[in-house]
Every structure is written in structure tokens, then in C-alpha cells.
């Protein structure tokens, strides 16, 4: 697979372009409501760019956040964001420390483990809903969810599922959940951007690649908004779980 450090962020093969375009589409679909597809984008970018993938993917997420925010603005407010932000910021600080110290060869296994952890939480919600509800109603769950989301978003841009699981446990309507998520991740990702630049994971070359992928990201956003009205979210989530398990195991165990 291509590596950002080896070729300056230039995708030099047809298969590479197919993969990054698919990642862009998944980013848009994930932000528009099908959050599990965001894990597929994480998997693809980790395969292509290794540890640096977290910075290459970040501007793509910001483009999707900016696109989704006005679509769902009327469904939510900023109040839940401010409650979750302090533990998330603490988790981000820990995540940046771990990211700096993490050897390159650990990147794919760590990202794979985070993806599988997100899947495990999804399965817990489906197979043990009463246990998950009790967990979600506990005093420390919000703090833990915020902190874990901060770590996951910093190391792997993989906090979407834990965020959605937290608010699903709070029994929020689907549209309100997406509206809150648009606000939360737009703010979090903008905070992360200068740090990723400082670590040289977001560079001029990677931004040029991101710019070329904007049409695919926007296509994903608008298709996701449309599909949200037509497709059973439950069926779609199970499909995504299957893809995410495959992606996580591939990264964790190697090709």
C-alpha cells in the first residue's frame, strides 16, 4: 500500500485512487447518519497511510462536518455538546500523548483494536440492551464516554460510534442525535487540526489530496441524507458491523 511518508501523499495507482475515493464516500455517508461507515474510511486510510492516516483523514471529516451541520441544525442545540466537551478534551490530551509515543508499527493494530472496541459496544447495545441502559444511566458513563471519544478521535478518528451509542442510550431521536454530532465533531476536529499539522500528519500534500476528494465526500453526505429516509437503519447497521469487524481484524492481525 502507498505510504504518505514515502511518496509525499501522492496516490500513484488506480487501486489507490479507488480506495481513497471510497474512503471519501464513506466519510460523507458516516457523517450523514451511518456512523459505522466512518470506520471503513478509518480502515482504508490506515492501510494506505499508516500512523499518518489520522492527519490525512482529518480535513475530510471537517469538510463533511461543515456540510452536515446546516442540514441538521434545526434538530439540536449546543447544550449537550458543552456537557460532553470537558472529558473529551482530557481524552484528546491523552490521545495526543499516545500518538506521539506510538511506534509506526503499532499504528494499524491500535486502530484495529479501537474499531473492534466500537463494534463490541454496538453489539452490547443490541444483545444486552438492559445492561447497556443501566450502564448509560450511571453517573460515570458520560465522563467515560467523553474521555474515550477524545482518545479514539485523536488516535484514529474513530469516535463516531461511541458518541452515537452514548446518545442512543439517552434515547434521543435519530435526527437530534445527528444534529448534536455535527456540532460536537465540527468543534473537536477544528481543535485537532493545528495539532495534526504540528505533528506533520496534516501537510500541504495531504491537503491537496483532500481537496481532490471533496466531491466524493459531498456525494456521500447528500446520499446519506437521502438514504436516511429510505433504508432501515437497523439492517444497515448490521451490514456495517460486519464490514467493521473485517476491517478491525485485518488491521489488528495484519494482512
What does pLDDT average to over the chain? 82
In angstroms, the CA 236 to CA 194 distance is 35
Query: Residue by residue, what is the 3-state secondary structure of the chain?
Result: CCCHHHHCCCCCCHHHHHHHHHHHHHHHHHHCCCCHHHHHHHHHHHHHHHHHHHHHHHHHHHHHHHHHHHHCHHHCCCHHHHHHHHHHHHHHHHHHHHHHHCCHHHHHHHHHHHHHHHHHHHHHHHHCHHHHHHHHHCCCHHHHHHHHHHHHHHHHCCCHHHHHHHHHHCCCCHHHHHHHHHHHHHHHHHHHHHHHHHCCCCCHHHHHHHHHHHHHHHHHHHHHHHHCCCCCHHHHHHHHHHHHHHHHHHHHHCC
Domain that holds residue 107: 4-253
In angstroms, the CA 62 to CA 31 distance is 10
19-67 tens-digit pLDDT = 999 999 999 998 887 777 888 898 899 889 988 899 999 999 999 999 9
pLDDT of residue 114: 76
Alpha-carbon separation of residue 136 from 92, 105, 149, 164, 188 (angstroms): 21, 35, 15, 12, 22
Q: Are 39 and 118 a contacting pair, CB within 8 Å? A: yes
Residue 7's pLDDT band (cuts 50, 70, 90): very low
Of the candidates 69, 74, 39, 70, the one whose C-alpha atom is nearest the C-alpha of residue 57 is: 39
Max Cα distance, the chain (Å) = 50
State yes or no: pLDDT of 214 exceeds 90: yes
Domains held by the chain: number = 1
pTM over cut 0.95: no
Amino acid at each position: 500500500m502507498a505510504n504518505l511518508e514515502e511518496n509525499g501523499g501522492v496516490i500513484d495507482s488506480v487501486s489507490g485512487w479507488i480506495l481513497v475515493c471510497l474512503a471519501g464516500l464513506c466519510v460523507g455517508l458516516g457523517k450523514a447518519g451511518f456512523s459505522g461507515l466512518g470506520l471503513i474510511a478509518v480502515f482504508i486510510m490506515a492501510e494506505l497511510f499508516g500512523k499518518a492516516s489520522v492527519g490525512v483523514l482529518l480535513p475530510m471529516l471537517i469538510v463533511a462536518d461543515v456540510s452536515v451541520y446546516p442540514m441538521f441544525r434545526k434538530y439540536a442545540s449546543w447544550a449537550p455538546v458543552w456537557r460532553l466537551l470537558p472529558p473529551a478534551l482530557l481524552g484528546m490530551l491523552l490521545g495526543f500523548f499516545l500518538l506521539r509515543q506510538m511506534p509506526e508499527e503499532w499504528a494499524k493494530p491500535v486502530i484495529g483494536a479501537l474499531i473492534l472496541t466500537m463494534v463490541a459496544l454496538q453489539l452490547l447495545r443490541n444483545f444486552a440492551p438492559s445492561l447497556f441502559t443501566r450502564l448509560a444511566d450511571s453517573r460515570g458513563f458520560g465522563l467515560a464516554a467523553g474521555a474515550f471519544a477524545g482518545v479514539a478521535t485523536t488516535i484514529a478518528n474513530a469516535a463516531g460510534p461511541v458518541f452515537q451509542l452514548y446518545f442512543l442510550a439517552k434515547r434521543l431521536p435519530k435526527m437530534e442525535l445527528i444534529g448534536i454530532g455535527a456540532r460536537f465533531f465540527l468543534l473537536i476536529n477544528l481543535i485537532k487540526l493545528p495539532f495534526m499539522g504540528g505533528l506533520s500528519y496534516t501537510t500541504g500534500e495531504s491537503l491537496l489530496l483532500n481537496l481532490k476528494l471533496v466531491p466524493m465526500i459531498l456525494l456521500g453526505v447528500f446520499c446519506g441524507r437521502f438514504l436516511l429516509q429510505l433504508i432501515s437503519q437497523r439492517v444497515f447497521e448490521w451490514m456495517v458491523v460486519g464490514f467493521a469487524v473485517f476491517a478491525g481484524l485485518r488491521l489488528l492481525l495484519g494482512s
